[in-house]
Amino acid sequence: MTGFSHQLPPTVESIGVALAEAAMRLTHCSTLVVVRDPATQEASIVAASVGTDRRLLGMPVEPGSAAGRACVGNVIREASGMEDLLGSARDDRRHREGQGVAFGIRDADTSIGALVVLAPLQMIDGSTLDRLLTLIDEAGQLIGQRLAARFAREMGLIDAITGNPNGPALKKAMREWVLKRCSLVSMAVDQVLTLDIDRGNAILKQVASLLRNNLRDYDVPARTGGEEFALFLPDTGLDGAVVVADRVRKAVGEWEFELDREWNATCSLGVASIPETVSEVDDLMEAAAGARVEARESGPNRIATLH
């Protein structure tokens, strides 16, 4: 990715620092990164390039300022001074009277923050501007992912053992899906209950990672309790969901799990879909779980659907 390490930075703040430094190298100007909290909708400065006043870090950004307005739209806002740029008088006298420009940061359709360059827009030539906007787009995706994960943890939507979405997160995602076409795969790891809790949790963590690696970014691989997972597949019909379930079944069966001894697992999976199996999203879970029970009763390492 342009200006970033290939290894994903672990936090919103570290991604912000990487963006601020990369933007400074492009523009040869001091930069700030502003991020809007998804829970409170309040914006604050999370990163600054080297040489920029560190006292600005953590300061709130007022909604009516140029940076504040850039945070809520994919826009470019110019300002004549720090007060106009960030809101209220700042103590950074080196930049107080200077000009600046705020570029909105987005993740897909969601406005999440702004990159502030402490220089007039006319100082940035066309080629540099194009590269800067590409950089902002790339950073926006990463920041958006981290914000979503942080918000989910704060709202109690993350399973503490696996780090995957939990049951409430699954229900939330299913109810927010506005189109009818979707599928749910109910899955149980067959042998986990034969292990002690520490070994069982180690297996669940590895299964959760396998699920994330075998699904699309917008699928929801939730742990719903015990040895059970549920995979919500938006815009996926029954046939497509069975293909996904089989891919997961094979991935689990072929994986050599890391324990204090060699250990292999299988899983039982049930698949239900709208409109092929049921007509309402609230009925998907029961239908998929019923199919999973049928698969398990037929023997391990199987997939079943209810008709």
Q: Which residues of the chain have pLDDT under 50?
A: 1-3, 5-9, 91-97
In the β-sheet with 220-225, what is the strand arrangement from edge to edge? 220-225, 228-234, 182-189, 267-274, 303-305
- Round to whole Å and give the CA distance between 82 and 94: 10
Kindly report, residue by residue over 166-215, the tens digit of the pLDDT: 999 999 889 888 788 999 999 999 888 788 888 889 899 999 999 999 99
Instruction: Output the six-digit token pair for 126.
Output: 């066309």
> What are the distances in angstroms from CA 256 to CA 153, 262, 265?
30, 7, 8
Looking at residue 4, its pLDDT comes to 54
Beta strands at 267-274 and 303-305: parallel, antiparallel or unpaired: parallel
Instruction: Output the six-digit token pair for 255.
Output: 């994986």
Q: What is the pTM of this model?
A: 0.59
Q: Is 156 left (phi over 0), alpha (psi -120 to 50) or beta?
A: left
Looking at residue 307, its pLDDT comes to 64
- Round to whole Å and give the CA distance between 183 and 242: 9
Looking at residue 79, its pLDDT comes to 87
Looking at residue 258, its pLDDT comes to 78
At residue 96, φ and ψ (nearest 5 deg) are -60, -40
Looking at residue 260, its pLDDT comes to 67
CA dihedral sign, ordered 301, 269, 148, 205 = negative
Amino acid present at 288: A
